[in-house]
Amino acid sequence: MKAGVLFSGGKDSSLAAILLSTWYEVELNTFRFSQDADIDAVRKAAKALGFPHHVRRFREGLLSEAVDLIIREGFPNNAIQQIHREAIRCLCDEYEVIADGTRFGDRIPLLTDDEIRSIGDRYTCSYVRPLIGFPKKEVERLVSRYLIISYGETGEISNGDYETGIRRELIQRGLSPESFFPPAHQQSLVTGRKPNS
């Protein structure tokens, strides 16, 4: 059975894909807001993992709605949740099993138990979070065993995180992303898979 994994190219979604590959035929899925979004680094990360990779485009207007919400509320949490829900919903149309790299202690994006039950009832697919029981320290230990990673601040590293597109849109509107996002937020990008992993 296939499992569609939401894939940013970062360490968490990569580790989730590796863990799920024990039981499922994993396919990586990266969403972008526009056709011209540069995701070459994400494609390379997917190739390094060795799983099929699909690039999908969010519906027209989603980015604008999300940025409007960020500006109204003054913080990005609910907008990122909205975008994540949309990505999951899109994958439900194609896969019986969908997954992401959310882990223990994550706050955003993170679906509630009621939302997860609703996905199963409404779309008849299973939404799994293979890292949800793993705290950050344990994820880091496993990542160091299986993956080669590059780190950098959001906006400086080319991964497929939702925040990258949101920051770009804020700048196009003449707004500073730093007004809405925490400073010095670190992101990761997989650059390889360690031998024998």
Across residues 177-193, what is the average pLDDT? 84
Q: What pLDDT score does 153 carry?
A: 79
Q: What is the pLDDT of residue 126?
A: 93
Q: What is the pTM of this model?
A: 0.89
- The predicted pLDDT at position 59 comes to 93
Q: How confident is the model at residue 127 (pLDDT cuts 50, 70, 90)?
A: very high
Q: Could you tell me which residue, 91 or 106, shows the higher pLDDT?
A: 91
Query: pLDDT above 70 covers what percent of the chain?
Result: 98
- pLDDT attached to residue 105: 81
Is the predicted pLDDT of residue 7 greater than 90, yes or no? yes
* DSSP secondary structure letter of residue 154: B
- Identify the CATH number of the domain in which residue 149 sits: 3.40.50.620
Which comes out higher in pLDDT, residue 84 or 111? 84
- Would you state the structure tokens that stand for residue 32, as one six-digit string? 């972008």
Q: What is the pLDDT of residue 197?
A: 59
Of 89, 154, 144, nearest in space to 122 by CA: 89
Backbone angles phi, psi at 18, to 5 degrees: -60, -45
Which runs of consecutive H residues, i.e. helices, occur in 50-135? 62-73, 77-92, 113-123
The domain of 151 spans 2-193
Compute the radius of gyration of the chain from its Cα atoms: 16
- Distance between CA 3 and CA 25 in Å, rounded? 6
Q: What is the pLDDT of residues 42-55, one digit of tens each?
A: 999 999 999 999 99
Structure tokens at 24: 């499922």
Indicate the number of domains in the chain: 1
Q: Is the pLDDT of residue 74 over 80?
A: yes
- Element holding 147 (H helix, E strand): strand 147-153
Token pair in block for residue 33? 């807001």
- Give the confidence band of 77 by pLDDT, cuts at 50, 70, 90: very high
